[in-house]
Amino acid sequence: MKKVMFALSVAALALGMTSARGEPVPPAAPSPTAGDKVVAAYYFYWYDIYTNLHFVDPDGSDALTDHPPDAYLSNYSYKEVAWHRRELLDMMAARIDVVLPVYWGSSRELYWSRTGLQKLVAAEQELIAGGYSPPKIGMFYDTTALRDQNGGVPPDLTTPAGKALFYGMMADFFALVPQNLWAMIDGRPIVFLYTAGFVAAYNQSTFDDAAQQFQARFGTTPYIVREVSWTGVNTDGAYQWGVALYGPAVIGHVGSVGPGYDETAVYGRPDPRVRDRQCGDFYEEGWDAIASSAATLVSIETWNEFHEGTDIAASREYGRTYITATARHIERWRASDYSQANAVWLDLGRYPYARGLRPAFNYADGAWLVTPVAGREAAYPDRTTDPPSYYIYLEVNDAFIRATPSEVWVTVEYYDGGDDGWLLEYDGVNGPYTLAPPVQLQDTGRWRRHTFHLTDAYFGGRQNVGADLRLADHFWADGRTNYFGRVWIARSAPANQAPDLLAPADAVALVGRVTEIPLSAADPDGDPIALTLDQGPGFASVIDRGDGTGVLRLAPAGSDVQPCAYRLRLLASDTRDPALADAATIRVTLGQYAVFLPLVRR
C-alpha cells in the first residue's frame, strides 16, 4: 500500500514539472492590496524513518537524491513533534515566514497527512509556549488527492459533488490548524493550489462556491494562489511550479524560486532531469531576479523535497549552506524597495546586475546571449533560435512604475560598431509595443549611450510574459545584430553619467597564496569613483586607492575549495547623490597550491 502510494506521489510531482516555461504566460492581475513581503516554503512531511516511508524505493533502493543530515535521521518522521519542531527552528533561521505543508486530503493518505499536520501544530504550540515565533501555517493543496479521492478519475469540479470535494479538503486542513497559527494575507488564510492536471473540469463557480462555504464556516475566505495551469479563473494570485528546474518566475505579485533540481534517485524516471546548483549560484540568480521584481509573496521550491533534490533544509549533502544563503537572500530582497527611487537600472551580462530593472525572460522570441565586446559583457538577441529571436525583454519594477502614464528618460548603452540600427519598443499609453525613434549607428567602434525621452510610458506589463519594454536589433530589416550593456530608466532628465569599470578577466587563485588583480574605472563627468566588492566570498577584498584604481585581493585557504568557481561582483560608483555605477561580475577558480612545484630540478 505504501509503495503504491509512493509511486503515485512522485508521479504527481513529475507531472507538475511538465508545465514548461516555453510559452509566454500572461501576467496575473496584482493583488488589490499591496501586502508586506512574505516568504513561504513547501514542506514535505511524508517521511517516516521508522517504516522507511519515502526513504526506500519499491525495489529496495535509496529513494532520495539528497538526504537529511545523519544527525537528524533518528527521529526523521511525520509522527514526531520533535522533528517538526527542529524543522521549524531551521526555517526560522532561514527567515521563512510561512510553512506550506504539502497536504494530501484523500482518505488513503490521511494516515500520514492528518497525523503529520497535527504533530506540526503541536510543535508550533510548543515553540510559541517557549517564546518563539515559528512560521505560520499555509496550505499547499496537493490536487493529486482530488483524483485519488475520485477513484483515480479526475473529478469534474463544476458539479455539486466536485465542488464539495474541492472545498472539503480545504476545510479539513484548516479545521486541523488553530486559527492563531494560520498564515494570512488581509485576514485570509493562504492556500497554494497545485496544478490543474488532476481535475477534469472547473470554472469560476468552483472557487466562488468554496469561498462562500469557507466564509460560512470560518468567517473569512481563503487567499488562493493557483498554479498557472488553472486558466480562465480569477484567484488572489498565481504562481508557477517547476522553478527549481526551470528558473525563477514572477507572476504579478507572486514570485517563485528554487535551488536546483535532481531527480536521479526517483523511482521510475529512467531519463532524470537535472538542474545543477552551481554551488548556489543558480539559487542566488533566482533571488536576484526576485529582488528586482515586484513580488511581495515568494514561494521557495522547496524546503525538503529530497527525492527531487530541491531541498534547502539541512542535508547530508549541503549541511546548513542553503539555510544561511536563504536568510541572506531574503534579507536582501526585503531591503529592496524602488517606490521612491529616482531611477532603476540594469547591467546586462552573464550574471545581470538588476536594480529595479531586470531581464524579463530568456526564451521564445526573447532569447539572448552574452559575449565580450570592447571591455564589456555585451548582450545580444539570439537569432540562432527557431524562430529567430530579435528581442531582449525588460521588466520595470512595479513599485517604480506600473500601469501609470509617466514621463521617463530611458538611456541604453550599446556598442556602436557598424552602420545599421536598433529599436526600442515600450509599453506605452497607446499600445504595448510603442516604437521609439530608431537609433542609427555611427561605426565609432565604441560603447555609446542613447537617451529616449518618453512622455507616454505606461509600463503595464502588457508585453510578452509581463515585460514592459524590449530592445530589438532590427535584424529582420538590416541583417545586423546589436550589442547592449546597461539600461537606465529615470524619472527626471539625466544630468549625470555612470562611470565605466574595466571588467577584469575570470581568474585562478591559488590556495595559500595572495593573488592581486588590478582594477580601474573612469567617469565621463570626471567624478570621484568608489570601488567596492558588492558580492563575493570572505577571502576576497577590494583595496580602493581613491583615484579610480584599486586591487582585487584574493587570499583563499584550503577550506575555501569547492567544486565550482566563485562569483565575485565588483562595483564602481560615482559619488553623486544618487550615485550611478558600473558592475562587473567575474568567476574565480581556486587551484591547490602545489608545495613541491617550485623546486628547481638539478
The amino acid at 355: R
| 461 binds Ca ion per the rule CB under 5 A | yes
Residue among 475, 467, 463 at smallest CA distance from 387: 475
Q: Least CB distance from residue 572 to Ca ion, whole Å?
A: 10
8 A C-beta contact, residue 206 and residue 216: no
Nearer to Ca ion, 143 or 463 (CB): 463
Residue position matching grid coordinates 545523519: 70
Strand pairing class (188-193; 139-141): parallel
Q: Give the nearer residue to Ca ion in terms of CB position, either 319 or 438.
A: 438
Q: Does 522 bind Ca ion (CB under 5 A)?
A: no
Interaction of residue 478 with Ca ion, rule CB under 5 A? yes
Cell numbers that stand for 266 in this block: 526517483
Task: List the grid coordinates of 390.
Answer: 530579435
Smallest distance from the beta carbon of 46 to Ca ion, in angstroms? Answer: 38
Alpha-carbon distance of 252 to 225, in angstroms, equals 11
Rounded to 5 degrees, what angle do the CA atoms 227, 243, 46 make? 75
Closest approach, Cβ 23 to Ca ion, in A, equals 20
The helix (run of H) or strand (run of E) holding residue 590 is strand 581-591
Minimum CB–partner distance for residue 337 and Ca ion (Å)? 15
The CA distance from 366 to 89, in Å, is: 42
- Quick one: 224 or 354, whose CB is closer to Ca ion? 354
404-443 positions binding Ca ion, by CB under 5 A: 420
User: Residues binding Ca ion: what is the number (CB under 5 A)?
Assistant: 17
Is 527 an interacting residue with respect to Ca ion (CB under 5 A)? yes
Least Cβ distance, residue 529 to Ca ion (angstroms): 8
Q: Which is nearer to Ca ion, 120 or 465 (CB)?
A: 465
Among 372, 344, 332, residue whose Cα is nearest residue 581: 344
Does residue 236 touch Ca ion according to CB under 5 A? no
Nearest CB to Ca ion, comparing residues 228 and 581:
581
Residue 491 touching Ca ion (CB under 5 A) = no
One character per residue 96-135, x = contact with Ca ion (rule: CB under 5 A): ----------------------------------------
- Binding string to Ca ion for residues 392 to 411, with x set by CB under 5 A, is what? ---xx-x-------------
Residues 6+ apart with CB under 8 A from 173: 103, 105, 117, 139, 141
Q: Which stretch binds Ca ion (CB under 5 A): 37-45, 108-116, 495-503, 505-513?
A: 495-503
Binding segment for Ca ion (CB under 5 A), chosen from 194-202, 342-350, 424-432, 471-479, is 471-479
Among 350, 448, 450, 480, binds Ca ion (CB under 5 A): 480
End-to-end CA distance of the chain: give it in Å, rounded: 73
Q: Which is nearer to Ca ion, 2 or 383 (CB)?
A: 383
Could you give the C-alpha distances from 252 to 207, 249, 405, 468, 547, in angstroms and in order?
Answer: 20, 10, 19, 13, 44
- In angstroms, the CA 498 to CA 574 distance is 7
Tell me which residue of 134, 145, 154, 106 sits closest to 41, measured CA to CA: 134
Q: Rank residues 199 and 469 by Cβ distance to Ca ion and give the closer one.
A: 469
Does 482 help bind Ca ion (rule: CB under 5 A)? yes
Contact 184, 217 (CB under 8 A): no
Task: Name the site residues for Ca ion (rule: CB under 5 A).
Answer: 395-396, 398, 420, 461, 468, 473-474, 478, 480, 482, 496-497, 523, 525, 527, 574
